[in-house]
Amino acid sequence: MIFYDCSTAPSPRRARMFLAEKRLTPETHDISIAKGEQLGEAFRAVNPRATLPVLITDAGTTLTENLAIAMYLEDTHPEPPLIGTTPDERAEILQWNAICESQGAAAVAEVLRNSNPHMKNRAIPGPANFEQIPELAERGRVRVGLFKDMLEQRLADSAYLAGDAFTFADISAFVFSDFARVIKMGVTDETPNLMRWYEAIKARPSARV
């Protein structure tokens, strides 16, 4: 396998943590988004959509979405299980993962990409340029707050996001919650259940790779 990473971006970190939990160490290439390397000709030959992460499988298939990468790794390296062992477990984990993507990642991205001056004309990832819309940043902050409130409520009743075991859903929620610090909306003591869970995930070796 060949893994294309970016050490500073949240989406590649999800795949990086998944690989670490599976104890896999593929050949890795770090692509600097800050330097615009994802838009260069060399990387566009790997992924024309100019997004990260990318995993090239042992069979040569190019996977450019976190869910596809996670499913491939889960099927080819089932231990330890990160996407459940029964249909109900798998469905709940994937449901929470989808919630984290649509309500967490999208909200943080709205704020960052529509307010950071370094992302001028880069409000949406990919090869095309899009102007920033400041109103979306304002809306995004409200959405991030709602996302944190939802996690706080869920984690009052559950050790982990999708039940009693650490899963892919926790990786996604942790990465997005942690990255929210760049918009000054990281995890604080104001959400004690979220903080308890956050510190537990942060202590895992995969969170430090």
- Please write the tens of the pLDDT for every residue from 74-120: 999 999 999 999 999 999 999 999 999 999 999 999 999 999 998 89
Q: How confident is the model at residue 66 (pLDDT cuts 50, 70, 90)?
A: very high
pLDDT tens digit sequence for 131-156: 999 999 999 999 999 999 999 999 99
Amino acid at 63: L
Q: How confident is the model at residue 56 (pLDDT cuts 50, 70, 90)?
A: very high
Where b means 16+ CB within 10 Å and e means fewer, 175-198 reads bbbbbbeebebebeeebeebbebb
Q: For 43-179, where are the E strands, in sequence order?
A: 54-56, 62-63
**What pLDDT, on the 0 to 100 scale, is given for residue 183?**
97
Helix-helix angle 134-155:106-115, to 10 degrees: 150
**What pLDDT, on the 0 to 100 scale, is given for residue 35?**
94
**What pLDDT, on the 0 to 100 scale, is given for residue 148?**
98
The edge-to-edge listing of strands for the beta sheet with 2-5 is 27-30, 2-5, 54-56, 62-63
Report the pLDDT averaged over residues 53-61.
98
**What pLDDT, on the 0 to 100 scale, is given for residue 81?**
98
- The answer to whether 15 touches 3, Cβ cutoff 8 Å, is yes
**What pLDDT, on the 0 to 100 scale, is given for residue 72?**
98
**What pLDDT, on the 0 to 100 scale, is given for residue 27?**
98
Q: How confident is the model at residue 193 (pLDDT cuts 50, 70, 90)?
A: very high
The number of residues in the chain equals 209
